[in-house]
A and B are shown apart, each in its own frame.
Chain A
Amino acid sequence: MAAEVRSEDELGKKWDRCLADTIVKMGGGLAVGVVFSVFLFKRRPWPVAFGTGVGLGMGYSNCQHDFRNPNLLHGTFVKKLEKGEK
């Protein structure tokens, strides 16, 4: 169980989450763009930029939404422990 986050640290957490999300989204876009660029667009650079841009945009949007709705709950994966297992 994650320790209770203090009120002053909540903003920092949000920023962390935003950044991570943005990076993931950008990386995804970049990867899609590269694939498109190699396979479909004869190694043209714009599919790459486009994909990255899309990812950046998605990340920004998510972040904005996060800051706007402060009471939004963010789910996290919790590994289910078998009985008797620590």
Chain B
Amino acid sequence: MAQARPLLSRGWKNDLEVVKNLVSIDLARPEGRRQVVEIVETLKTKLTIPDWARRQLAGRVRSSYRNLACYNLATAAGVACTALGSVVTYVDLVEKMEKSGPIPDDIMESITALLQNNAEQVNIAFEACSVNLRALEAAIEDDPALMANSDMKHYLKALDVASQTWKDSQADDERRVLAAGDARDQHVLICDAIDNMSQTQPAVSDDLKDKKEQCLSQGRPTTGRAQQPCRNYAEEGADKSAKAAQARLQAVGSLPSQTSGGGVGRTVLTATLAVGAGVGGLTVYAKTSPEFRRTLEGNIPYAREYLGAVLDRGPKMPDLGLGGVVDKAKGMVGMGKKKEEEQPGSFLPKLSKSKAEEEEKQRKVAADTAAQAVSVGTEEPMPVAAKEPSTARKEPAAKGPVKAKKPVGVEKPEETAAAAIAIGMDEPLPPESKTEPKAKKKAEEKPASKKKALKEKAEDTAAAAVAAGMDAPIPAEAMTTSGKGVTGKHVTKEGKLVETPEDTAAAAVAAALDQPFATEARETPMRSPEEVQAKILEKEIDDLADRAATVAIIHHELEDLKRTASSAVHAQEEAAHATKMHSVQIKHAMDENTSGPLGKEEQWQAVTGAKEAKVDALKLAEASATAARENLEKVRAVIRESKSSLSEPDQEILAAEEELSKLAYELETAVGKVAKAQADAQVMQDYQALVEQGRKQFKKELESIMPDVKLGGWRGKLSEDELNSLIAHAHRRIEQLQSQLAEQQLLEKSRMDDALGRQRAEDEKETLALLKRELERQKQELALAQDLRIAQAREQYETEMRTQLRRQAAAHSEHLQDVLRVQEQELGSKHQAEMHDALMDERDRYQVKLNEAMARLRGVEAAIEGRADIEREARKSQELLIACETLKRLINTGNEEATSWEERRVPLSREVNTVKEAAGDSTFFQTLLDAMPQQAMEAGVYPEDSLRQRFLRVKRVCRRVAMIDETGGTLFQFFVSYLQSLLLVDAGRRSLPPGKEVDPKKLDTFTLLSYAEHSLENGDLEQAARFINQLKGEPRKVASGWLEEARLTLEARQAAQALAAAAAAVGLGTLV
């Protein structure tokens, strides 16, 4: 931005103008061509893309319009470069051509046209460049943060490529133009040849001229055409980019007009407005907040003057015709500093910053006060009013240094100031105007020194106090600089390890320095126990620091006081000495008889000198005494305060108090001495006045007697008359004096008495004063001693009390232990007895309960056992039942998986064994099981179905052998029987139901068989077996196998049924 600005504002527009002028420069003249080359060179240097634009392109450009602008700028610059290169090439060409001879007008024309083309291109490109630059500037102004971004490598690449392209195209163009130029050179050469030839041979000139025309026309349009697309492209690109840039500019609104002056004006206006608003706001805020104003004044140069001029325009002074005086007073007061403005707690370095400002305020206030004072004093004569400020100035000037020396670590400056003012008021200066400025002055002087010391304090943390309190038992250097020091010292002092964080220590130091400030800081609400703990700790440390600070301050004060007091005493002594000297001198001078080495005159001169010395000494003494008294008061106040603030009186403070009282006594003694000396001097003065009066009287008398005789002007001899009169007067005078003497002698005694009385009174007064002082001193000493004793006694009693308490506590604990032991024993035995009883009772009860519970348990056990027996029986019977049922089922069904009837027979031994197990040792079941046939156990029995199937075949065979009897038969008989069976159709008798009554005699084989079949079909195996049992002869033999099996089955079935019934009966029995 900064680089871009000058590019535009400095000469871009001019460049455009120059480019425009480029078109109109005549290339025919050499200087014109030089000009063109120069212009082109300058323009080329300007066309280098500025660094910021490169950076911009290198950075991430968020807005697309700026990308476009950058890209367009690059393109336009490239086009411009190309065109400029072309221009240079053309100029070179012209140069070259001119070397070979004068250029023909038509060629020159074409070249000029080309040049103009190029110049126009350059023009357009430059315009595009400028517009794009402006757009870029506007965009960057819009968002300057985008300048710093860095992710537009491809744009930078594009820029590089573009620049490469410019160079390439430039080179290409140069090559092309050079080639064209070469061609044109050739054309020109040809033209020249043709011209020459036409000159030499007019005959062929026409053809040649035609050729020349051809050549020329060939060269011109070609080059023109070659440039055309380039130009079109440039125009197009420029138009586009210019449009985009204009649109962007309008959108941004920062650069709407073509002139950049508008933008500058706007910027200036905005800046002015902003600055004005800022300054106004600051001023208004500074008016409301003095601290802010102080900060401002401290930090900004000339802010003080400005704020003073703007904010401190106070009300006009009332013109009372005392302008000079007012001015004087103003000036005088202005030199001082003000005090009332200061806050007691603001012991901060900030104070020094606000010094000047306060000075201003003070000056004004003081001027006001002075003006007021002057207005009060206007009733008095002018000279007085005029004089008084000057005396006032003098007075404080004398007091100034003394005041300035005053200790300054007092925590209540107002008090001191008030004391100072009070002292000022007490001084015997009648006019009000004098008192006011003086008090003011004092008040002003003090803060000056005070501020200095305070600053010192604030800056290196009570260094002054430390310097004063180096010999203090609590090491004051603990508070000097580092909080660690404080901690360590406090630890040693406390005798226990107190862990104090550094900041706490710093806070403690701050507290020591600045009570209110620290208090304020400490007033932050604390809740958690840790905080409370920390606060307690802090408070302890604060207390310690307070004490140390107080002690340090007191010591410092005492040092000062000592100094002041000693100087005051010294001054007093000097004053007394001067007074004495004065009276001695007077005495000496008044003594008529004495005639020292000096004459009377010189003696009187010595008196005068002594008097002056006396006056000076007295003044000094008074001043120093006042200062010392003030100091005393202050120290007293400090001590009082520290006494009241600290919970218990400190040894140091007591010592300081003692010291203080001693100093006060000394001071008072010195003052008394001076007073005595003054009284003596007064006597001497009275004497002198008496003598002077007598002398005057004598002179007057003499004058009245001899008016013409001048007593002092006696020269030569006196006349007789004169002598006579003198003698007469002398006689009279002697007489008078004698009478007076007699009278005096008479009165002497009474006078003596009188004088004695006076003297006595005076002595008495003095003695009283002395007494008072002594009393005061003794009182103080006594008070001090009392305090000391009290402190000691307190300590002693405290230790004693502690010892006693400890002893008592020990005795108490011992006693307590004894009592406890006895009690323990008693209680133990009692408890044991009770315990035993209770235990026995409990045991009995428990026994009863246990028996009960045991009986119940047995009952329950029996019940459970009975129940278990029942259950077992039930389970056994169930098992038995199940086994019997299984047996029965097996007998009835056999092997169900068998494919033929023969295989359905299953051995029953397993089931029978199961039943046997289930039945246990029941004889009933044993009997029943024994009834089970052995064959059925081993081989099993056929079920009814199998028997039925077998019966079919048995029946058939039986029918075939029906005719054969028990004795057997021949083969023929068998054959006949077979025939009979074949012939016998038993359609109706095949399965004949037997009647109610069966006649055994009538039963033949066939009938029996049919009956048996019927019975079998109806499931009555037993009946069938009975019928089969009736067979005789060979059929019986045949059916014997079947019958046996059937019988077996029936037996097994019967046994199984009996078993099942018995089992069911047993099961039913268990159910009940």
Where the two chains meet, the residues of A that have a C-beta atom closer than 8 Å to any C-beta of B are: 6-12, 60, 63-64, 67-70
Contacts and interface: CB of A to CB of B under 8 A. Distances in A.
A38 B971 CA distance: 35
B961 interface: yes
Given A11-B961, A11-B1038, 13 more contacts: A6-B1041, A7-B1037, A8-B958, A8-B1042, A10-B1037, A10-B1038, A12-B957, A67-B969, A67-B971, A67-B974, A68-B968, A68-B970, A70-B968
A1 B597 CA distance: 198
B953 interface: yes
Nearest to B1040: A7
B1042 A64 contact: no
Closest 5 CB pairs of A and B: A7-B1041, A8-B957, A6-B1041, A7-B1040, A8-B1038
A64 B1038 contact: no
Contacts of A60: 971
Nearest to A12: B957
A50 B343 CA distance: 178
A3 B345 CA distance: 139
Interface string B393-430: 00000000000000000000000000000000000000
Contact of A67 (B954, B968, B1039): B968
Contact of B954 (A8, A68, A69): A8
B1041 A64 contact: no
A63 B1041 contact: no
Contacts of A11: 957, 960-961, 1038
A64 B957 contact: no
B214 to A, nearest CB: 135
Contacts, number: 39
Interface centre among A11, A60, A68 (most CB of B within 10 A): A11
A6 B971 CA distance: 21
A7 B957 CA distance: 10
Interface of B: 950, 953-954, 957-958, 960-961, 968-971, 974, 1037-1042
14 contacts: A6-B950, A7-B1037, A7-B1038, A7-B1039, A7-B1041, A8-B953, A8-B954, A8-B958, A8-B1038, A10-B1038, A11-B960, A11-B961, A68-B968, A70-B968
Nearest to B968: A68
Nearest to B1037: A7
A68 B1041 CA distance: 20
A72 B67 CA distance: 134
Contacts of B1039: 7-8
Q: Main SS of chain B's interface residues?
A: helix
A11 B961 CA distance: 9
A18 to B, nearest CB: 8
Nearest to A14: B974
Nearest to A3: B902
A7 B970 contact: no
A8 B1041 contact: yes
Contacts of B1041: 6-8
A56 B1037 CA distance: 29
Interface centre among A6, A12, A60, A63 (most CB of B within 10 A): A6
A60 B970 CA distance: 11
Contacts of B968: 67-70
A12 B974 CA distance: 12
A64 B960 CA distance: 17
A49 B957 CA distance: 36
Interface centre among B953, B960, B1041, B1042 (most CB of A within 10 A): B1041
A56 B958 CA distance: 29
A70 B1037 CA distance: 10
B971 to A, nearest CB: 6
Contacts of B1040: 7
Interface centre among A8, A9, A12 (most CB of B within 10 A): A8
A60 B972 CA distance: 11
A64 B970 contact: yes
Nearest to A7: B1041
A67 B968 CA distance: 7
Nearest to B957: A8
A66 to B, nearest CB: 9
Nearest to A15: B974
A9 B1037 CA distance: 11
A64 B954 CA distance: 23
A63 B969 CA distance: 11
Nearest to B1043: A7
Contacts of A6: 950, 1041-1042
B1010 to A, nearest CB: 17
Contact of B970 (A9, A67, A69, A70): A67
A10 B974 CA distance: 14
Given A6-B1041, A7-B1038, A7-B1039, A64 B961 contact: no
A12 B1042 CA distance: 16
B971 A64 contact: yes
Contacts of B1038: 7-8, 10-11
A9 B1038 CA distance: 8
A64 B972 CA distance: 9
A50 B1041 CA distance: 43
A57 to B, nearest CB: 13
A70 B954 CA distance: 18
B521 to A, nearest CB: 120
Contacts of B1042: 6-8
A7 B974 CA distance: 16
Nearest to A18: B971
A61 B950 CA distance: 33
A9 B79 CA distance: 133
Nearest to A4: B1041
A77 to B, nearest CB: 26
A7 B1037 CA distance: 7
